[in-house]
Amino acid sequence: MIRFDVLSIFPEMLISPLSFSLLKKAQEKGLLSINLHDIRNWAEDKHKMTDDAPYGGGCGMVMKVEPVEKALAAVKSSTDDSLVVLMTPQGETFNQKIAAELAGKKQVVIICGRYEGVDERIRKHLADREISIGDYILTGGELSALVLIDAVSRLVPGVLGNEESTVSESFSRGLLEYPQYTRPAEYKGWKVPDVLVSGNHAEIELWRKNESLQRTYKRRPDLLAKINLSPQEKKNLEKIKIEDI
C-alpha cells in the first residue's frame, strides 16, 4: 500500500476527484491511502495566516515556512520510504519514469504551492523532490497533485483490473500507444483494420508494435531519442521514415 498526504490551503478542491473510479475503488480495497491536510491548521496566529508579503518587496504573497514545517512534522513518516514532493513550475517535468519511482515509496507527502510561490526554505530544507507537470502556470499545486496521484496510483499492484494494461499504455516504455478499436467492426464505412479481426495474434502484435512506432515518430519524435530500440524496431523506423518522405 502507498500513502499519500497532501498539504494544501484548499484541500476541499481534491475531495471530489479522489472519490470516483479507480482511485475510489483502490482506497476501498486498502491499496491506497489518500489523506488531505489543511495547512491552516498549523498556523498559530489568530487569523490562521499561511502567507505573507515577500522580503525585498514585490507583488503577491509567499507561503510561509512555519505552518508547512509543522504540518510535515505531524504527517511525515520517519521511515526511509517517505518522500516529500513540492509541486512547482521550477521542478523536474513529471513523466512515467518518475511515476514508477514514486510508486515504490510507502508514503508520498505532496506540498501544494499557492500565490507567488513558497518561502525558499521550504524548497531547500523540507522538500526531497520538486516536480512540475508542464511548462505553464496554474493557480496552485492542487491540480498538479491530482495528476501525480492518479499516475502513480495506476502503478500500484492491484489498482488496475488488468495489470498488463500498464505495459501497453502510452509512455510505458517511451512510445505512444498503438490505435485501439472495439465493436462494431464497421460503422458508417469506417472499418477496423483487417489484421485486428484476423485472429492471428502474432500478426496483431507485429501490427501494434509498428503502429506504436509510427505514431511516436509522427507525433512525438523527441521520444525516440530517449529509448533503446531493438534492431528490428530500428529497421522498421527507417522504413517508416522513407515512406514518410
What value, to the nearest 5°, has the Cα angle with vertex 44 and ends 38 and 45?
115
39 located within any domain: yes
Q: What pLDDT was estimated at residue 169? A: 59
164 located within any domain: no
What percentage of the chain carries pLDDT values higher than 70?
96
Task: Give the confidence band of 15 by pLDDT, cuts at 50, 70, 90.
Answer: very high
158 located within any domain: no
Based on the fold, state whether residues 105 and 32 are members of the same structural domain: yes
Residue 210: give its domain's CATH number.
1.10.1270.20
Based on the fold, state whether residues 121 and 177 are members of the same structural domain: no
Q: What pLDDT was estimated at residue 161? A: 78
> How does the average pLDDT of the chain come out, rounded?
94
Region 105-124 average pLDDT: 95
Task: Give the confidence band of 80 by pLDDT, cuts at 50, 70, 90.
Answer: confident
Task: Give the confidence band of 92 by pLDDT, cuts at 50, 70, 90.
Answer: very high
Sign of CA dihedral 16, 17, 21, 25: negative
- Residue range(s) defining the domain that contains residue 211: 170-244
Q: What pLDDT was estimated at residue 171? A: 64
- Nearest of 111, 101, 122 to residue 2 by alpha carbon: 101
Collect all residues with Cβ–Cβ distance below 8 Å to 53 and sequence separation of at least 6: 61, 62
Based on the fold, state whether residues 76 and 135 are members of the same structural domain: yes
Task: Give the confidence band of 72 by pLDDT, cuts at 50, 70, 90.
Answer: very high
Based on the fold, state whether residues 109 and 178 are members of the same structural domain: no
Based on the fold, state whether residues 132 and 187 are members of the same structural domain: no
Based on the fold, state whether residues 135 and 220 are members of the same structural domain: no
Q: Are 13 and 142 contacting, i.e. CB atoms less than 8 angstroms apart? A: yes
Region 13-19 average pLDDT: 97
What is the value of pTM for the model shown? 0.89
Q: Distance between CA 4 and CA 107 in Å, rounded?
A: 6
Region 37-44 average pLDDT: 97
Based on the fold, state whether residues 9 and 77 are members of the same structural domain: yes
Does the pLDDT value for residue 79 go beyond 90?
no
What is the Cβ-side half-sphere exposure of residue 5, based on CA atoms within 13 angstroms? 19
Based on the fold, state whether residues 61 and 121 are members of the same structural domain: yes
Region 10-22 average pLDDT: 97
Based on the fold, state whether residues 143 and 233 are members of the same structural domain: no
Q: What pLDDT was estimated at residue 100? A: 96
Q: Distance between CA 125 and CA 73 in Å, rounded?
A: 13
